[in-house]
């Protein structure tokens, strides 16, 4: 696949409709494209350019600035091992060295079967659970060699498929309401957004929700029940139930 | 004992079952702050925040109320929440986004109401996939509940909120780079002046940029009043602060502590907080406010945790990231890794930052690898001086943003505090700490 498929193209139009200027949607669109193909193809970037009114080179110019975007194929699982200061102090380089041996690749490399890419990453904001890694941006903290091996085996066997989607998938939750739900174009009628949408035949994705004060919404999670057992121990550092450290 | 019984403000709901859901948020009085704000005028909300003296929690510590007061009169006005958290060893916003996204949304809405913003963007670091998912679910819930969108909570005020993912670039935490990124461009910081996005921001329109933790305080401030907030802490530093404690402590984690009442000693050693140095080793040094800040040693343990107190000893509170290093830590390796980060993340617009970072990184690496020369310390300081003349604190700036001037503090601290250790590397031809070599194949990128 190369260009956005029809479903993703509609998602792209919905995203563009959220912003006062189409170009602002470019990074979310690049994530969408990367989610479709696992990396950014030239045809895909050209398609994004058509959608937001940019040359393909301008799209690539933006994409190439950002570390999360890959213009070459990467493995199904991108394992990013943090080696920054807090993790370094907890043995991150030893962990990375072990990861290299376990996977048989150097940082930046991909295994021959296309399953794993390894990265030597900057701080992942999980420093309370150092050393840590992300797999396709899902967090795994308090790693050691054994836990790393276990993680790799579980990924390879598909046991973590629900937790860790294939590389490129960022946010599995769709927005269920369009802009301007608030009912006013911030640029006024005829401003850049209205004009652009008139030209491109798009608009708010979903009609604005009526205000229902008092009643919690249900079913708005768009089908994704986020079971985060494996990844959220990460954030529960404050007031640890065990009242003590892990060492 | 100096740990006070001040209430937790931003982390009160942490650890509640499914704390990120609307149902759980409403059980704890969620959106009551917004409801109360809507019964006030925007000016009254702004005044409450002035009274609270809420300092920005993103690093610079600028008063939120004062920033809002600098907003240029024009339409539209944008509000952008900075959730790009990438400063090494900082992990507080990550936690707030994942565990209490509704608090963030409510805080952003209160801010939007006070500054009369026309649209709100929550710029969230791209790597925080779970946070992005939870926040988007929460926002969908909040729309359906009527807290966002048209006629908010039955009032005649309407505003839209957009969750916007970043894509992996530390520099996009700098507010003008963040705005460029939000415009769909490369994240190059903008040349100043204009110094404040409040004058010229997103698409050239007046824009308020506030940190996630900053606005997460607002529901409490509005509910309890600016006075109640200002009753906590002392001097300029009011309220509480999340300190992200990491490194060689028994209990790393985020701790919300009343400003100006506890010291670094409390944070690191109190059994309810850091619990002391892991393995009962000795404290060598600690980084008090993120890796851009000059380091402190054991003699500074009694400095109180307050922005101005930390500034008095020649460093900064920054984002509240405290990183502890025990006596097995190699200062060269630590400084090298920090500089390597800045070199990697430099956007490349300014020569001192783009080139200087690489030079300092190479020199530190060769010292660590046992290839250092006696003249290397002077050379390091000379390069640092070219990046930030005088190598003073706060740093002099030759560059478009302060990423460049963030390079010298770590190596300068290592040289100042552990000069003998650097010479030992050079004279012995190896690192005196185990393991004595960084893996050769690594760290080349
Ligand atoms: C290199 C650099 C990185 C920054 N990273 C962040 C960040 O990740 N998060 C943040 O809130 N502020 C960051 N800042 C500070 C912002 O520019 C800005 O001051 C802040 O978001 C304002 O919010 P506050 O007033 O609420 O603190 C960074 C600044 C610089 C120079
Ligand atoms: S100081 Fe560094 S990061 Fe900042 S604008 Fe200059 S080159 Fe870019
Ligand atoms: S230093 Fe590794 S996650 Fe922050």
Predicted pLDDT at A183: 63
Task: Give the side-chain half-sphere CA count within 13 A for B362.
Answer: 7
Query: How many other C-beta atoms are found inside a 10 Å radius of the C-beta of residue A178?
Result: 19
Residues whose CB falls within 8 Å of the CB of residue B34, separated by 6 or more in sequence, listed in order: B106, B109, B110, B113, B147, B152, B153, B219, B222
Below-50 pLDDT ranges, chain B? 1-2, 443-445
Residue A123: name the closest of A95, A92, A83, A94 by CA. Answer: A83
State the distance from the centre of ligand 1 to the C-alpha of B85, rounded, in angstroms.
8
C-alpha to C-alpha distance for B168 and A174, rounded to whole angstroms: 21
Mark which residues 41-100 of B lie under 8 Å from A by CB. 75-76, 78, 85-91, 93-95, 98-99
Predicted pLDDT at B266: 97
Residues whose CB falls within 8 Å of the CB of residue A170, separated by 6 or more in sequence, listed in order: A31, A34, A35, A137, B126, B129, B132, B165
Q: Tokens 């698409």 — which residue?
A: B203
C-alpha to C-alpha distance for B199 and B208, rounded to whole angstroms: 9
What residue ranges in chain A does DSSP mark as E strands?
Answer: 77-82, 116-121, 133-135, 138-140
Write the ipTM. 0.96
Exposure letters A123-140 (e unless 16+ CB within 10 A, then b): bbbbbbbbbbbbbbbbbb
| Average pLDDT score over chain A | 80
Alpha-carbon torsion B178, B183, B188, B193, what sign? negative
Mean pLDDT for A103-131 is 96
C-alpha to C-alpha distance for B106 and B216, rounded to whole angstroms: 8
Q: Which ligand is nearest to the CA of B66?
A: 1
Structural contact between residues B50 and B176, judged by C-beta atoms closer than 8 angstroms: no
B440 to chain A, any CB pair closer than 8 A? The answer is no
Mean pLDDT for A105-119 is 97
In order of B52, B224, B367, B431, the CA distances from B421 in angstroms are 46, 52, 11, 9
C-alpha to C-alpha distance for B150 and B128, rounded to whole angstroms: 29
C-alpha to C-alpha distance for B377 and B393, rounded to whole angstroms: 19
Residue B330: name the closest of B379, B364, B372 by CA. Answer: B364
Predicted pLDDT at A171: 95
What residue ranges in B327-363 does DSSP mark as E strands?
Answer: none
C-alpha to C-alpha distance for B31 and B110, rounded to whole angstroms: 10
Residue A97: name the closest of A107, A89, A87 by CA. Answer: A107
- Residue B2, judged by CB atoms within 10 A of its CB (0-12, 13-18, 19+), counts as middle
Structural contact between residues B11 and A238, judged by C-beta atoms closer than 8 angstroms: yes
Residue A54 in this model has a pLDDT that exceeds 80: yes
Structural contact between residues A45 and A37, judged by C-beta atoms closer than 8 angstroms: no
C-alpha to C-alpha distance for B303 and B232, rounded to whole angstroms: 18
Residues whose CB falls within 8 Å of the CB of residue B427, separated by 6 or more in sequence, listed in order: none
Bridge pairing between strands B237-238 and B233-234: antiparallel
Residues whose CB falls within 8 Å of the CB of residue A97, separated by 6 or more in sequence, listed in order: B439, B442
Predicted pLDDT at A178: 84
- Residue B320, judged by CB atoms within 10 A of its CB (0-12, 13-18, 19+), counts as buried
**Could you tell me the two tokens for B184?**
């769909």
Chain A residue with minimal CA distance to B163?
A175
Q: Across-strand partners of B63?
A: B55
Query: How many other C-beta atoms are found inside a 10 Å radius of the C-beta of residue B67?
Result: 21
For residue B158, give how far its alpha carbon lies from the nearest alpha carbon of chain A (Å).
Answer: 5
State the distance from the centre of ligand 2 to the C-alpha of B55, rounded, in angstroms.
25
Q: Which residues of B touch A108 (CB under 8 A)?
A: 445
Q: Which helix (H) or strand (E) holds B163?
A: strand B160-165
| Sheet architecture: strand order including B160-165 | B160-165, B119-124, B78-83, B207-211
Predicted pLDDT at A2: 87
3-state secondary structure of B284: strand
Residue A218 in this model has a pLDDT that exceeds 90: no
3-state secondary structure of B161: strand
C-alpha to C-alpha distance for B201 and B64, rounded to whole angstroms: 16
**pLDDT tens track for A156-208:** 999 999 989 999 999 999 999 988 887 654 443 333 444 444 444 443 333 33
Q: Which residues of A touch B146 (CB under 8 A)?
A: 209-213
In order of A26, A29, A151, A194, A201, the CA distances from A198 in angstroms are 19, 20, 50, 6, 5
Predicted pLDDT at B444: 44
- Residue to mutate among B105, B144, B431, with most A CBs inside 10 A, is B144
Structural contact between residues B210 and B56, judged by C-beta atoms closer than 8 angstroms: yes
C-alpha to C-alpha distance for B97 and B100, rounded to whole angstroms: 6
C-alpha to C-alpha distance for A138 and B72, rounded to whole angstroms: 40
C-alpha to C-alpha distance for B389 and B393, rounded to whole angstroms: 10
User: Which atom from ligand 2 is nearest to the alpha carbon of B401?
Assistant: 4
Predicted TM-score (pTM) of this structure: 0.93
Cross-chain Cβ contact A221/B140 below 8 Å: yes
- Residue B356, judged by CB atoms within 10 A of its CB (0-12, 13-18, 19+), counts as buried
Alpha-carbon torsion B149, B151, B153, B155, what sign? positive
Pocket of ligand 3 (CB under 6 A): A 82, 84-87, 123-127, 130, 132; B 88-89
- The angle at the Cα of A81, spanning A76 to A83, to the nearest 5 degrees, equals 155
Predicted pLDDT at B436: 52
């Amino acid at each position: 696949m190369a260009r956005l498929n029809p479903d993703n193209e509609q998602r792209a139009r919905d995203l563009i409709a959220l912003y006062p200027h189409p170009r602002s949607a470019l990074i979310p669109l690049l994530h969408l494209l990367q989610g479709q193909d696992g990396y950014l193809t030239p045809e895909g970037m050209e398609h994004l350019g058509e959608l937001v009114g940019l040359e393909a080179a301008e799209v690539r110019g933006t994409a190439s600035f950002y570390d999360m975007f890959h213009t070459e194929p990467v493995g199904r699982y991108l394992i990013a091992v943090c080696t920054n200061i807090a993790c370094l102090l907890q043995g991150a380089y030893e962990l990375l060295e072990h990861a290299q041996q376990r996977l048989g690749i150097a940082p930046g490399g991909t295994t021959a079967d296309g399953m794993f890419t390894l990265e030597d990453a900057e701080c992942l904001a999980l420093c309370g659970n150092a050393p840590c890694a992300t797999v396709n941006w899902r967090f795994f903290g308090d790693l050691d060699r054994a836990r790393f091996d276990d993680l790799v085996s579980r990924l390879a066997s598909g046991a973590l498929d629900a937790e860790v989607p294939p590389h490129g998938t960022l946010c599995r939750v769709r927005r269920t309401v369009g802009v301007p739900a608030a009912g006013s174009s911030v640029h006024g009628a005829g401003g850049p957004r209205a004009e652009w949408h008139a030209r491109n035949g798009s608009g708010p994705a979903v009609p604005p929700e009526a205000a229902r004060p008092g009643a919690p919404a249900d079913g708005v999670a768009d089908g994704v029940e986020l079971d985060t057992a494996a990844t959220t121990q990460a954030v529960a550092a404050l007031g640890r139930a065990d009242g003590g450290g892990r060492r | 004992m100096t740990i006070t019984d001040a209430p937790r403000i931003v982390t009160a709901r942490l650890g509640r079952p499914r704390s990120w859901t609307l149902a759980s948020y409403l059980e704890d009085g969620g959106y009551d702050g917004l409801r109360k704000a809507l019964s006030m005028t925007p000016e009254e909300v702004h005044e409450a925040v002035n009274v609270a003296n809420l300092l920005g929690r993103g690093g610079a510590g600028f008063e939120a109320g004062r920033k809002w007061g600098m907003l240029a009169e024009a339409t539209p006005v944008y509000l952008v929440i900075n959730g790009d958290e990438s400063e090494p060893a900082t992990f507080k916003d990550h936690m707030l986004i994942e565990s209490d996204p509704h608090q963030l949304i409510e805080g952003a809405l209160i801010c939007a109401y006070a500054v009369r913003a026309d649209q709100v963007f929550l710029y969230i670091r791209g790597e925080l996939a779970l946070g992005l998912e939870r926040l988007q679910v929460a926002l969908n819930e909040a729309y359906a509940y009527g807290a966002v969108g048209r006629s908010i909570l039955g009032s005649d005020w309407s505003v839209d909120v957009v969750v916007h993912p970043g894509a992996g670039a530390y520099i996009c935490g700098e507010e003008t780079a963040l705005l460029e990124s939000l415009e769909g461009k490369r994240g190059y910081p903008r040349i100043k002046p204009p110094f404040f996005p409040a004058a010229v921001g997103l698409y050239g329109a007046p824009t308020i940029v506030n940190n996630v933790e900053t606005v997460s305080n607002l529901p409490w401030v509005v509910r309890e009043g600016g006075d109640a907030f200002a009753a906590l802490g002392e001097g300029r530093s009011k309220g509480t602060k999340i300190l992200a404690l990491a490194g060689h402590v028994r209990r790393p984690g985020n701790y919300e502590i009343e400003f100006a009442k506890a010291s670094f000693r409390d944070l690191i050693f109190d059994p309810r907080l850091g619990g002391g140095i892991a393995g009962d080793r000795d404290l060598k040094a600690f980084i008090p406010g993120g890796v851009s800040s000059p380091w402190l040693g054991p003699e500074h343990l009694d400095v109180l945790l307050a922005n101005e107190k930390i500034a008095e000893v020649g460093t900064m509170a920054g984002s509240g990231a405290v990183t502890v290093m025990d006596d097995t830590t190699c200062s060269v390796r630590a400084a090298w890794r920090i500089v390597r980060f800045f070199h990697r993340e430099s956007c490349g617009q300014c020569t001192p930052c783009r080139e200087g970072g690489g030079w300092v990184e190479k020199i530190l690496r060769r010292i660590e690898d046992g290839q250092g020369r006696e003249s290397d310390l002077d050379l390091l300081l000379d390069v640092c001086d070219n990046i930030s003349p005088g190598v003073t604190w706060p740093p002099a700036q030759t560059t478009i943003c302060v990423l460049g001037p963030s390079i010298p503090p770590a190596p300068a601290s290592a040289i100042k505090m552990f000069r003998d250790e650097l010479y030992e590397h050079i004279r012995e031809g190896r690192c005196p700490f185990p393991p004595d070599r960084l893996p050769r194949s690594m760290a080349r990128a």
